[in-house]
Amino acid sequence: MDFARKVREEVKGGIAGPNRTCEYYPCHFEGQDCTFCFCPLYPCMDTELGKMVIGRKGDPVWSCMECHFTHRGEVATDLKARLEHEPMVPASPERNHEILAEMSKNHRKRARSIMVLGATSGAGKSLITTALCRIFSDRGLKVAPFKSQNMSLNSCVTRAGEEIARAQELQARAARAEPSALMNPILLKPKGNATSQVIVDGRPYADLDVSTYYDEFVQNEGMRAVRDAYDELARDNDVIVIEGAGSPAEINLGAKDISNMVTAEIADAQCILVVNMEWGGAFAYACGTIMLLPEEQRKRICGIVFNNLQGSADGLRAGIIKLERLVKIPVLGIVPHLNLTLPTEDSMHMMAICPDQGAVRVGMIRLPHVSNFTDLEALAIEPGTEVVLVSEPSQLSQVDALVIPGTKNTMEDLEWLRASGLFDGIRAMRGKVPIIGICGGYQMLGREVIDETGVEGGVPKVLEGLGLLDVVTRFSAYEKRTVQVDGTLLSTGEEIRGYEIHMGRTEGTMRALLSLREGGIEHNEGAVSEDGMVIGTYVHGIFDLPPVRKKLLSLARKEWHRGAAEVAYQEVVEKSIDQLAAGVARSLDLKSLIEHAEGT
Amino acid sequence: MSARIMVQGASSGCGKSTIVALLCRHFASKGYKVAPFKATNLSLNSYVTGEGLEIGISQAFQAWAAGIEPEVCMNPVLLKPGGDAGIQLVFDGRPLMDLKRGSQVPLDLLLKATKRAYQSLAERFDVVVIEGAGSPVELNLTERDIANMRTAAIADAPVILVGDIEVGGVFAGLFGTYTLMSKEDRKRVKGYLVNRFRGEENILIPGFVMLSARMAVPSLGVLPMLDVRLPSEDALSLGTTKTSAGGGGDAREEWTRNLDSLLFEARKHLDLARIEDIAFGRDSAAIATTQRNE
C-alpha cells in the first residue's frame, strides 16, 4: 500500500525540520517539523488528537487534520528514533497504541492554570474568566475555560450533543475553542425541593438531593469526573482559565466544596479573588474570604480584583493600601461597571438592556422554574424592544407580545399558571398579541400534558394545557433530547439555528414552524395556529438570528420598526467579548498572570 | 436611658431595614414603646411626616411596624443623589443644600443632628432600634462615616451584624466586617445573624461553630428566605423588574401583614430572647466572650 511505503521512506531518510520547499508548507504552523508528512501512527484513534468524520464517500474515516503532535520537532525526532528499532513499519495498531502512550508521557503537555475565585456568587467570576480567555487567546496561547461544577438552568448543547452551562460556552468562544463537556464536567440544574438534575460529562446522570450530592456523589463520582475532565483538557492546551463557584470560604462545607480550592489543587492553579463592589462591603468580603482560608490555600491567591465599580475610583486608594497591608496580597485593580451585551448566567438583568420608552414590550412569563431565559436576551437587545417579567394577570395588559419560556418542571409550572390566574389571562390574549412558547412553554400551549410515569413530578399525572395549540405532550421515559439543530423558518425559508434540551414528546397535526436538518434528514418542528398568532417550538436560541424575532415583533400589538431586526446577535456578542477583554486588560495589572500563563 | 440595639450589615441590601422593622414589631408586641432610628440615609425613596418633613421611607415603615407615626428625628439626615446636580442634603426634614461632586458633607453639623435626634427618641421611648448604613468597614470611608460606629458610640449601643446568604460568602462577609473593625468597635459587636437562607439549617452549623469561635460572639440565628413583599429602599434590593400590579389594597396594611408573617417565622428561627437581653444590657454571655476576646 502506498501509505505504508511512504511511512517507511519517512522513517529511513526524509527531511528533518521544516520543509519550506513544499508547496503546502506550512500546512499546520510556521516552523513545523515535516519529518512525518504521513503520520506513522495513523489512525491512532486518540480522540484528543483527532476524531471520526464522515468521509467523501459517506464512510466514517479518522481525521487528524488539526493534530500538531508529530509536527513538533522534539516529537518527530523521538518518534523517528523509536520507529527505527521497530521490526515492522508501520507497526500493528496495538503496537502503535503503545508507542503513542510512551510518547504522550514524554511530550504531551500539561497546561498552566489560572483560577478565578469569587467572594460571592455574582461577583463577576464568569465575566473575568471570559475576559482572561480572550486576553490569553489574543496572545497566541491555546486556551480553554473550565468550571468543575456549575449550578445553572441556562445550558446549551455542544456539537457533540453534550449539555454544558452557557457561561462555559461563552468562555470557549472567548478562548476561540470548541465548546466541550470537558469544560464543565458537572452541571446542576435545580428542580426545586433541594433536588437537582445532575449532568455529568454532558449527559444526565441522576436527580440528587443536596445531601446525597454532597455526601455521596461529590466525594466519588464527582471528583473523578472533575479530575478526568481537567486532565484531558490540560493535555491539549497551553493555559486553562478556571472559574470557581460561589465563595471558596463556605466554611460549613469544607472539603465537600470541590469546585473551588479542591479544583485549584488538582490544577495547581494560581488564583485571583473577584469581589463585586456594587453591594458594598467589598473590603470586608475580600478580607474575610482570604482570612477564612487555611494557610496553604491562601498561598494560591496572588491577587484581588474589585469588580463592577459604579462611579469614581477616587478615594479608594487609601482603603486598598490598608487591605493589602492586612492580607498581604496585592489588589490587581478595579474593573468599572461595563455595559456589555453578553448572555448572563443566572441573573435576570437582561431586562435592563434596553429600557426604552415607547418600545415594543415583550412579556416573559416568570415561571417559578424558568430555564434558558437567555433565549429572551436576543429580543431584549433589539432596538425598540423591551423585555419585562410577567408574574401576575394584571401585567398582561401592558405587553405587546408574550413569550412563555422553558421550564425545568412543566407540570408544576402549569399548575402555578392556574393558581396565579395567568392561565385564563393568557388564554384571553389569544389573537390580540403574538404568543410564543419555547420548550416547556410550547408544551403548556398544547391541549394536554401527560406525565405517564411521573418523570416530572414523581407521580403520573395528566394536566390540561392552555389549549392554544392543538398538540399533546407526553412524558413517558426518563430520557432527554439534547441536540444542536439548524434549518429554515417554513413561512419564509430563512435560516435559523438553535438547540433542543427537553424531555417529553409533543405531537399534533398543526402547521409546523420550522424545517430542521439533522444528520442529513429533514423534519418539521413546532406548531403554528391557524391565524399565525400562537407559535410553539422546542428550539432554544430561536431568537438569536433575526427571522423568528422579526416574525414575533412584526405581529406585536404596536407598530414595530422592522429595519431594526437585522442586529445579528452573535456579532454583538463577539464585539462585546473584545470590549470586555479590553476593559479588563485596561483596569488590571495582568503582568504576573500573563507571565504565569506563558510560562515565562 | 432607654434600651437600644443597632443592626449593622456586611453589605448593602442585606436586609438591615427589614430586620430593624422586625425588631421594632417584636418589641412593640411585648408592650414596649419602641422607635426606629437611622442617622443618615442615602436614598431617593422618601416619606413625608405629618409635619411635612422628609425622611427615608424605611424609617416610616419601621415606625408603622412599631405601631407609631413616623417623625423626623427617626432619620435626621437624608442624602438624595440627584445626578449632575449633586446630592441634596435633607437636614431635619428640610433640604439644606446641594453637595456638589467632590465636596464634603459637613461632619460636625451631621454629628450634632444625629446626637440631638437620637436623644429625643431615647428620652421618650423604652427601646430604640438603630439601623446602620451599608457596611461599617468601607476602609476608604471610615473617617467620614457617621451612620455606623459613630452612631453606635453616640447611643452607646450594642451591635448585631447581619449577613445576606443569598449571594454566598456570608461567613467571609461577617468575618471580614468584624476583622476590619477597630478593637474598640469590635467590643460593641454582640452577635450575628444570617438572612435570606433557603434550605436545611443544619448544613450551616459547622460554619457557625467555627465563626463564633473566631469572632468570639454568638450566632443569633438564621432567617429563612420568605416570599413576602416588603418595601425596598432602593433598586438594589428590588431584585427583578416588576411592572405595577395595581392590586388595589392599602399597601401599608399589606406590608404590616407581611411583616407579621415574617415575625412569626423569626420567632422560630432567631434567638429573640437573647436579642432582648443584648438590647437591655443583660447579655452576660456576650459580655463574657467580649472580655475573653480582649
Residue A496 lies in a domain: yes
**pLDDT for the residue A483:** 82
Q: Are residues A324 and A374 part of one domain?
A: no
Of the listed ranges A34-43, A241-250, A507-516, B278-287, the least confidently predicted one is B278-287
Last residue of a domain, one of A71, A92, A107: A107
In sequence order, the β-bridge partners of residue A464 are A448
Interface pTM (ipTM) of the complex?
0.90
d(CA A484, CA A589): 39
Number of domains in chain B: 1
Q: Are residues A299 and A158 part of one domain?
A: yes
Q: Are residues A320 and A182 part of one domain?
A: yes
Tell me chain B's radius of gyration from C-alpha atoms: 18
> Looking at the predicted structure, is the pLDDT value of residue B259 above 60?
yes
| Residue A497 contacts residue A545 (beta carbons within 8 Å) | yes
Q: Are residues A72 and A130 part of one domain?
A: no
> Looking at the predicted structure, is the pLDDT value of residue A481 above 90?
no
Q: Pairing relation of β-strands A514-518 and A521-525?
A: antiparallel
d(CA A235, CA A69): 11
> Looking at the predicted structure, is the pLDDT value of residue A366 above 50?
yes
Spell out the residues 6+ positions from residue A114 whose beta carbon is closer than 8 angstroms to its own: A132, A239, A240, A241, A242, A269, A270, A271, A272, A593, A596, A597
Mean predicted confidence (pLDDT) in A504-531? 91
Chain A residues touching residue B11 (CB < 8 angstroms) = 279-281, 284-285
DSSP run (H or E) holding B146: none
pLDDT tens profile A110-155: 899 999 999 999 899 999 999 999 999 999 999 999 999 998 887 8
**pLDDT for the residue A520:** 78
d(CA B234, CA B223): 21
Q: Which residue of B141, B207, B240 is in closest CB contact with A250?
A: B207
In the numeric block, the cell 416588576 is attached to B242
Mean pLDDT of chain A: 87
> Looking at the predicted structure, is the pLDDT value of residue B35 above 80?
yes
> Looking at the predicted structure, is the pLDDT value of residue B286 above 80?
no
DSSP run (H or E) holding B94: strand B94-99
Q: Confidence class of residue A596 from pLDDT cuts 50, 70 and 90? A: very high
**pLDDT for the residue B244:** 33
Of the listed ranges A63-77, A143-157, A326-340, A437-451, the least confidently predicted one is A63-77
Mean predicted confidence (pLDDT) in B218-229? 84
d(CA A235, CA A233): 5
pLDDT tens profile B96-111: 887 877 777 788 999 9
Q: Are residues A164 and A299 part of one domain?
A: yes
DSSP run (H or E) holding A148: none
Q: Are residues A207 and A282 part of one domain?
A: yes
> Looking at the predicted structure, is the pLDDT value of residue A304 above 90?
yes
d(CA A97, CA A244): 36
Residue A562 lies in a domain: no
CB-based burial label for A571 (10 Å; 0-12, 13-18, 19+): exposed
Mean predicted confidence (pLDDT) in B226-252? 45
Residue A568 lies in a domain: no
**pLDDT for the residue A248:** 97
Q: Confidence class of residue A352 from pLDDT cuts 50, 70 and 90? A: very low
Last residue of a domain, one of A92, A107, A122: A107
Mean predicted confidence (pLDDT) in A236-242? 93
Contact A317 B138 (CB under 8 A): no
Chain A residues touching residue B167 (CB < 8 angstroms) = 120-122, 279
In angstroms, the separation between the Cα of residue A458 and the nearest Cα of chain B is 21
Q: Confidence class of residue A220 from pLDDT cuts 50, 70 and 90? A: very high
Mean predicted confidence (pLDDT) in A235-258? 93
Q: Which residue of A288, A316, A388 is in closest CB contact with B140?
A: A316
Q: Confidence class of residue A399 from pLDDT cuts 50, 70 and 90? A: confident
Say which CATH number the domain at B186 has. 3.40.50.300
Instruction: Give, rounded to a whole angstrom, the gap between the first and last alpha carbons of chain B.
Output: 27
d(CA A231, CA B59): 56
Q: Are residues A97 and A215 part of one domain?
A: no
Say which CATH number the domain at A314 has. 3.40.50.300
> Looking at the predicted structure, is the pLDDT value of residue A251 above 60?
yes
Q: Is A51 helix (H, G, I), strand (E, B) or coil?
A: strand
**pLDDT for the residue A434:** 95
**pLDDT for the residue A306:** 97
d(CA A262, CA A204): 24
> Looking at the predicted structure, is the pLDDT value of residue A107 above 90?
no
**Region class of A140: left (phi > 0), else alpha (psi between -120 and 50), else beta:** left
Q: Name the residue in chain B with its Cα closest to that of A215.
A: B203
> Looking at the predicted structure, is the pLDDT value of residue B85 above 60?
no
Number of domains in chain A: 3
Q: Are residues A274 and A365 part of one domain?
A: no
In sequence order, the β-bridge partners of residue A189 are A197
Residue A567 lies in a domain: no
Spell out the residues 6+ positions from residue A270 whose beta carbon is closer than 8 angstroms to its own: A113, A114, A115, A300, A302, A593, A596
Q: Which of A229, A268, A143, A242 is nearest to A598 (CA)?
A: A143
Chain B residues touching residue A253 (CB < 8 angstroms) = 203, 207
Q: Are residues A116 and A101 part of one domain?
A: no
Mean predicted confidence (pLDDT) in B247-274? 82
- Strands of A395-543 (E only): list them: 401-404, 406-407, 435-438, 448-451, 461-464, 471-475, 481-489, 495-502, 505-508, 514-518, 521-525, 527-528, 534-537
pLDDT tens profile B194-216: 999 988 888 899 999 999 999 99
Percentage, residues of chain B above pLDDT 70: 85
Q: How far is CA A369 from CA A196, A201, A389, A413, in A?
A: 12, 23, 14, 7
d(CA B235, CA A87): 76
Please report which residue ranges of B107-220 form alpha helices under DSSP H.
107-124, 149-155, 170-180, 183-188, 205-215
> Looking at the predicted structure, is the pLDDT value of residue A321 above 80?
yes
**pLDDT for the residue A184:** 97
Handedness of CA B137, B143, B147, B149 (dihedral sign): positive
Residue A570 lies in a domain: no
**pLDDT for the residue B250:** 63
Instruction: Give, rounded to a whole angstrom, the gap between the first and last alpha carbons of chain A.
Output: 46
Q: Looking at per-residue confidence, does B270 or A484 come out higher?
A: B270
**pLDDT for the residue A77:** 87
Residue A539 lies in a domain: yes
A-B C-beta contacts closer than 8 Å: 154
Range of the domain at A364: 359-557
What count of other Cβ atoms lies within 10 Å of the Cβ of residue A506? 22
What is the pTM (predicted TM-score) of this model?
0.74
Q: Are residues A37 and A120 part of one domain?
A: no
Q: Which residue of A122, A283, A390 is in closest CB contact with B167?
A: A122
Chain A residues touching residue B196 (CB < 8 angstroms) = none
Q: Are residues A206 and A77 part of one domain?
A: no
d(CA A453, CA A539): 25
Q: Are residues A369 and A335 part of one domain?
A: no
d(CA A421, CA A440): 18
**pLDDT for the residue B249:** 52
**pLDDT for the residue A477:** 76
Percentage, residues of chain A above pLDDT 90: 49
d(CA B87, CA A134): 40
Q: Which of B103, B164, B173, B119 is nearest to B4 (CA)?
A: B119
Angle at which helices A73-84 and A93-107 pack, to 10 degrees? 140
Range of the domain at B260: 3-238+247-293
| Residue A16 contacts residue A76 (beta carbons within 8 Å) | yes
pLDDT tens profile A535-566: 999 998 888 888 888 888 888 876 544 334 33
- The cell numbers describing A227, all together, are 479530575
Spell out the residues 6+ positions from residue B222 whose beta carbon is closer than 8 angstroms to its own: B165, B193, B194, B197, B201, B204, B269, B270
d(CA B243, CA A389): 8
Q: Is A577 helix (H, G, I), strand (E, B) or coil?
A: helix
**pLDDT for the residue B236:** 31
Contact B169 A392 (CB under 8 A): no
Question: According to the per-residue pLDDT averaged within each range, which of A351-355, A479-483, B87-91, B162-166 is highest?
Answer: B162-166
What's the one-letter identity of residue B118? Y
Percentage, residues of chain B above pLDDT 90: 60
Mean predicted confidence (pLDDT) in A233-241? 91
Q: Confidence class of residue A344 from pLDDT cuts 50, 70 and 90? A: low
Q: Is B30 helix (H, G, I), strand (E, B) or coil?
A: coil
d(CA A592, CA A301): 12
d(CA A169, CA B1): 61
Using the Cβ of B179 and the Cβ atoms of chain A, whether some distance falls under 8 Å is answered with yes
Q: Looking at per-residue confidence, does B50 or B172 come out higher?
A: B172
Of the listed ranges A72-81, A329-338, A583-592, the least confidently predicted one is A72-81
